[in-house]
Structure 1
Amino acid sequence: MSKQTDWADSATPHLRLRLEFGLFFIAVPVLIAVFFPPNWMFPSLFTFTAIGIVLLHYTPGYAWAELRYNWQNWSWREVVVFTIAMTAFCAALVMVMRPDAAFFLLSNRPEFLIVIWLGYPILSALPQELLFRSLFFRRYHAILPDGRAAYLLNAGLFSLAHLMYWSWIVAIMTFAGGLLFTWAYRKRGSFFYAVLLHAIAGNIIFAAGLGVYFYSGNVQRPF
């Protein structure tokens, strides 16, 4: 077998992964954001999530037991510091950008806020971390850039997945969140820690009133 044939055989799986990667993490989020009406967004996201979980399940060498790895590799001190900092940031941001929405659910619909706090970690944070941390780094590791570039790519695509909200605030917050959650998953090796930080961040966002930016009913496309 010639060297050219050897190269072609080794390049083909990478090409397939790149095409799959581009479709899943770039094309689909853009299509949802640009073409789908707001009331189709959540069914589309559930379908997107289901496909991602199937891809993860059939990733060569992947085992669901990996989700338990290093689950205790975090500290209460870090969590407390993050919670305080996130609360202060969100409170300041909502008072500047949307004072009318500041702590609205906390003040007016506390029972609904409790439902969000209970449901968000399982229905939103967990599946997002499965797709953007486990699937991203386990299935596509062979085609990812090295070092910090992989973190930046992950955060950028995590932000792109939220393009459907058409908000620069959402874009910046999800990019920063993507960096943090990737750090928890990669540096700490803890999927649980990534989910925990994601859940805390999301629940604070809704408590502060910034959930107005993450509500499909408020989406206004710029075209």
Structure 2
Amino acid sequence: MTVSETALPPDSGRLPGRGRRSVEALLLFVAAPLVHVTLFDVLGVFAPLAAVTTVGVLLLAITPGWRWRELIDLASLRGHGRLILGFTALAAAVIFALVFALIPQRVLGLPRYMPQTWALVMVFYPLVSVLGQELLFRPLFFRRYGDLFTGPVTLVIANAGAFSLTHAFYQNWVALTLTFLGGLVFAEAYRRTRSFPLVFLLHTFAGQLIFTSGLGVYFYHGAIPQ
């Protein structure tokens, strides 16, 4: 199977030219995160992320082959139960190992000391954070820009790298490393299955584990060095 078959919708011929899409991808997935890091003191956390998400969603809306009903295609989850359970177990092991190694005093800190805040994070994190990120980094990236890469391996690594880069404003190696590793899993899962609900759940469970375990201090804007 070629990358064109795995990365693009059947009617991909109506996509804009490669040059235009290359510029779009560089601006959205490289330039915007770098500007965010460089001008973080001026731009803050939320305005740049909201702007990039809005632009990305608009681009996805005009991308040939994309259908919004794919967001709720629960049938696409069939047969992936073992993947979800296996990934969640592995993610929990890695995340808790990092907590015990780096910040053992914060193990389960959020649910233990701020249970109401923890409950709100568990409920709203998937909707406020995961949904927008997954729309940009999976359907948009693969369907609109997938054929710009030479093969599946390059495509998946580039996707994970862009996903990690957008978290660079946290300014710590834990956030960059975990988002790159998680991005590899999410990207490959989407490349193989085209299931938005699958990658949404994988991303959600990973994030909820991070904030439950105590590792969320590395993904919290209040901890960004000044």
- TM-score, with normalisation over the residues of structure 2? 0.87
- Deviations 1:129-158, CA, capped at 9 Å, x for gaps: 100001001111231231111000100111
1:50 aligns with 54
1:191 aligned onto 2:192: no
Matches within 5 A, 1:26-175: 26-37=30-41, 40-69=44-73, 70-175=75-180
Q: Distance in 1 between matches of 2:70 and 2:224?
A: 37
CA contact (8 A) 2:70 2:195 kept: no
CA contact (8 A) 2:36 2:169 kept: yes
Q: Percent identity?
A: 38
Q: Distance in 1 between matches of 2:62 and 2:81?
A: 35
Flag the 1:195–1:74 CA change in 2: closer, same or farther, 3 A. Answer: farther
CA contact (8 A) 1:38 1:219 kept: no
One-letter amino acid of the structure 1 residue matched with residue 197 of structure 2? F
Q: Distance in 2 between matches of 1:147 and 1:79?
A: 22
Runs of 4+ displaced beyond 4 Å = none
Flag the 1:20–1:78 CA change in 2: closer, same or farther, 3 A. Answer: closer
Q: Once the 2 structures are TM-superposed, how far is the Cα of residue 109 of structure 1 from its aligned partner?
A: 1.0
CA contact (8 A) 1:39 1:216 kept: no
CA contact (8 A) 1:49 1:131 kept: yes
2:26 aligns with 22
1:217 aligned onto 2:222: yes
Q: Distance in 2 between matches of 1:60 and 1:78?
A: 29
Q: Once the 2 structures are TM-superposed, how far is the Cα of residue 112 of structure 1 from its aligned partner?
A: 1.0
CA contact (8 A) 1:67 1:191 kept: yes
- Deviations 1:9-38, CA, capped at 9 Å, x for gaps: xxx821111111101100000000111228
- Deviations 1:96-129, CA, capped at 9 Å, x for gaps: 1112322111211112111101011111111111
User: Aligned residue pairs: how many?
Assistant: 210
Query: What's the secondary structure of 2:188's corresponding residue?
Result: helix
Query: What's the secondary structure of 2:100's corresponding residue?
Result: helix
Unaligned 5+ runs, structure 1: 1-11
Structure of higher CA gyration radius = 1
Q: Distance in 2 between matches of 1:145 and 1:73?
A: 30
Segment of structure 1 superposing worse, 159-168 or 40-49: 40-49
Flag the 1:208–1:53 CA change in 2: closer, same or farther, 3 A. Answer: same
Q: Distance in 1 between matches of 2:119 and 2:42?
A: 25
CA contact (8 A) 1:74 1:188 kept: no
Q: Distance in 2 between matches of 1:56 and 1:79?
A: 26
